[in-house]
Structure 1
Amino acid sequence: MMNQSVTYIVKGRRQRRYRWILVTGLLLALACLLSCGMLLLGSTMYPAQDVFHVLMGEDISGVSFAVETIRLPRMLAGLFAGFAFGISGHTFQTMLRNPLASPDVIGITAGSSAAAVFCILILHASGTVVSIASVISGLITVLLIYIFSKGKTFSIGRLILVGIGMQAMLNALVSYLLLVGAQQDIPSALRWLNGSLNGSQMDELPPLMITVLFVAPIVIALGKHVSILELGEEAATTLGLHTDRTRMMLIVGAVSLLALATATTGPIAFVAFLSGPIAKRLVGVGLSNAIPAGLVGVNLVLGADLIGQFAFEVRYPVGVITGILGAPYLIFLLTRMNRKGNVS
């Protein structure tokens, strides 16, 4: 009987591992396909071999400018920002054990956005200044949400409600900044607030790319600790996990990814919110879904940008398309949780 139980456990683990590998591989293949589409599609379609030669360093009249100046930065911005949004959203949702605890629902994205808009409209800054301000503001927002939601006992429901209130307050601050900002800067700020890959430039991408390449592996490596945190504070402590230190490392890493992505592309709506649940639905439970969630974020951003560019007569920013996709799911989730009595 004991050997049979062990066999079932081993078989289940093997099946979950195969499923994880298969789904992750398919998500990676789709991301590669969408990335190629971002490079090939546009007002003019160039042969794949010409695009490849340009990427290898050759200079081809017309093709080089379109690929190197417009399409490649746009694709890389969507690729790295989508991965950052996906991992950060999954981290917060898993760590707080609630699908509503996404950075763009509980106000963290709004904190980074407010700082970035302030830098754009008031300080007329860009690049590194906006990135640093976004990270600092995101961390301060997390700290304030935690302080205001902390009563006699920690409550995830209270944290989410405080975060939603914080988001409303920060959105009001953004609206005020738009009222007092210089008229010539407002259109660019509005395009940024909608979440857009338009106008992405190579010299603006290094902070985001470096952060993803160095911070994302740390967050992914802590994935097994996130799974332990899902068991609850007492169980995690009993298993020997330093919960406060682990949670702090995860928060700093996730907020850094989120803030740099927000500073680069704007707050692309609902990508962080959708990526984790979609990855969990595809992969299942038992293994860390951080990498699949990041890849889902990549596919959401790149796919939504292609839809916004070519599916309609008018071109829409990527954030408009992801907002259309995410809003119904948010309503569905709130309705389901309200029926179960989990919202309060």
Structure 2
Amino acid sequence: MQPRRRRLVGARRELVVTVVLLAVVVALVLTGLGVGEIPLSPAQVVAAAFGHGDAIADFVIGQLRGPRVFGAVFVGAALGVAGAIVQSVVRNPIASPDVIGVTSGASAAGITAIVLFGASGGVLFGTVLVGAVVVSLAIAALSWQRGITGNRVVLVGIGVAAICLAVTGWMLTSGTVTQAGTALLWLSGSLNAVDRNLVVVLAVAFVVLMVLALLQSPRLTVLALGDEVASALGLRPDRAKVLLLLTAVCLTAGAVATAGPVSFVALMAAPIARRIVGGGRVALGPAAAVGAAITLASDLVAQFAIPGTALPVGVVTGVVGAPYLLWLLARGR
């Protein structure tokens, strides 16, 4: 098959997979909006979404379930795209924001803001973003050796993550019982009290950053060939990596600021999307859809697996993601 035809077939397959995955996400959204103590049919959910529902449906969807469900969509999608970018740039299947320390840095900044200043909403969002960027710059500086290489980034990131976890523990022991309780709930990756306005901010940020990521996706394909080949093709590898990783860091920070560190979604979404699409494609769109589907499904399990108990979504993703990480480590060289 000619290269051009192969690219067209791959692009068509990626588009079809993205549409199918989006249909799965829509089905999970309708399920999340409809199930609960006040059950709503899909017709009631759709009517309320277009402003034609009754007062009860409008209240349940607009105030109770809507922020949580759509928060899960954009948190999962942001983490899925961030994981796809990081793994492609570093060329390592375990180099997700969770593993290399970006999430830990964002969490440490968020916990510090919560405990010391009682931060929430936009202030928390900004603090988490700054913390994620600072930690990412530290990781890049410490791992730099004639460029950004995969194994060094992972190893340095694990060390930086350990430092950030120590800062998080220190903040938890320094705060009051109330502050510690709030911080622990946020640290577990919870959608239980997602702020409606913050979801809107995350949605806008995700759309902007997703467009930037898609515009840069050809560079990801070139970088997958190796730095020497990328340079020969006229690309400046280090500059491209920095821009791509900065996009991933901002996506991760937005997700963490909204729901706390929802673990392992970034690790799992991209490999699943690449395996479904095939052809060695980066598959940013499918990765976003897979991340959203994982987070939505995990949140449904977290809400209803144990009657009368709503678990943080991060507990469920951790239960699924930790064995997956161990499997990757066991089968890797």
State the match for 1:64 in structure 2. Answer: 58
Query: Which sits farther off after the overlay, 94-103 or 152-161?
Result: 152-161
**What is the Cα deviation at residue 12 of structure 1?**
3.7
d(CA) in 1 for partners of 2:66 and 2:186?
19
The residue identity in structure 2 corresponding to 1:53 is A
State the match for 2:193 in structure 1. Answer: 199
State the match for 1:334 in structure 2. Answer: 329
d(CA) in 2 for partners of 1:153 and 1:250?
14
Please give the per-residue CA displacement for 1:293-335, whole angstroms capped at 9, x wherever unaligned: 1111000000100111122333321111111111111111111
d(CA) in 2 for partners of 1:300 and 1:282?
15
Distance 1:166 1:30, change over 3 A: same
SS of the residue aligned with 2:117?
coil
Q: Is residue 322 of structure 1 aligned with residue 317 of structure 2?
A: yes
Please give the per-residue CA displacement for 1:173-208, whole angstroms capped at 9, x wherever unaligned: 111111111211222211111111111131222321
**What is the Cα deviation at residue 98 of structure 1?**
0.4
SS of the residue aligned with 2:266?
helix
The percentage of counterpart residues that share the same residue type is 36
d(CA) in 1 for partners of 2:155 and 2:280?
29
State the match for 2:231 in structure 1. Answer: 237
Q: Is residue 48 of structure 1 aligned with residue 55 of structure 2?
A: no
**What is the Cα deviation at residue 251 of structure 1?**
1.7
What pairs up with 1:142-153 in 2 under 5 angstroms?
A: 142-151=136-145
State the match for 2:183 in structure 1. Answer: 189
- Among candidates 86, 97, 107, match of residue 113 of structure 1: 107
d(CA) in 2 for partners of 1:267 and 1:234?
35
State the TM-score, normalized to the length of structure 2: 0.95
Contact 2:274 2:280 in 1 (8 A): no
State the match for 1:249 in structure 2. Answer: 243
**What is the Cα deviation at residue 121 of structure 1?**
1.2
State the TM-score, normalized to the length of structure 1: 0.92
- Among candidates 77, 88, 99, match of residue 83 of structure 1: 77
The residue identity in structure 2 corresponding to 1:335 is A
Query: Which sits farther off after the overlay, 84-93 or 315-324?
Result: 315-324
SS of the residue aligned with 1:205?
helix
Q: Is residue 287 of structure 1 aligned with residue 281 of structure 2?
A: yes
Contact 1:106 1:164 in 2 (8 A): yes
- Among candidates 197, 206, 209, match of residue 212 of structure 1: 206
d(CA) in 2 for partners of 1:58 and 1:19?
37
Contact 1:24 1:291 in 2 (8 A): yes
The residue identity in structure 2 corresponding to 1:135 is L
Aligned-residue RMSD, C-alpha? 1.7
d(CA) in 2 for partners of 1:332 and 1:236?
31
The residue identity in structure 2 corresponding to 1:129 is V
Contact 1:120 1:189 in 2 (8 A): yes
The structure that has the greater radius of gyration is 1
Q: Which ranges of structure 1 fall in alignment gaps of 5 or more residues?
A: 1-6
- Among candidates 67, 87, 91, match of residue 97 of structure 1: 91
State the match for 2:216 in structure 1. Answer: 222
**What is the Cα deviation at residue 153 of structure 1?**
6.7
The residue identity in structure 2 corresponding to 1:323 is G
Please give the per-residue CA displacement for 1:44-100, whole angstroms capped at 9, x wherever unaligned: 202333333322234634322211111111111111111100000100000110011
**What is the Cα deviation at residue 11 of structure 1?**
5.1
d(CA) in 1 for partners of 2:124 and 2:148?
33
**What is the Cα deviation at residue 10 of structure 1?**
5.1
State the match for 1:310 in structure 2. Answer: 304
Query: Which sits farther off after the overlay, 311-320 or 236-245?
Result: 311-320
Query: How many residues are treated as equivalent by the alignment?
Result: 332
Please give the per-residue CA displacement for 1:237-291, whole angstroms capped at 9, x wherever unaligned: 1101122332222122111111011000111010001111111111112433111
The residue identity in structure 1 corresponding to 2:156 is V
State the match for 2:25 in structure 1. Answer: 31
SS of the residue aligned with 2:124?
helix
State the match for 1:301 in structure 2. Answer: 295
What pairs up with 1:158-173 in 2 under 5 angstroms?
A: 158-173=152-167
Please give the per-residue CA displacement for 1:198-253, whole angstroms capped at 9, x wherever unaligned: 11131222321111011111112211101111112111111011223322221221
SS of the residue aligned with 2:36?
coil
Q: Which ranges of structure 2 fall in alignment gaps of 5 or more residues?
A: none
Contact 1:69 1:201 in 2 (8 A): no
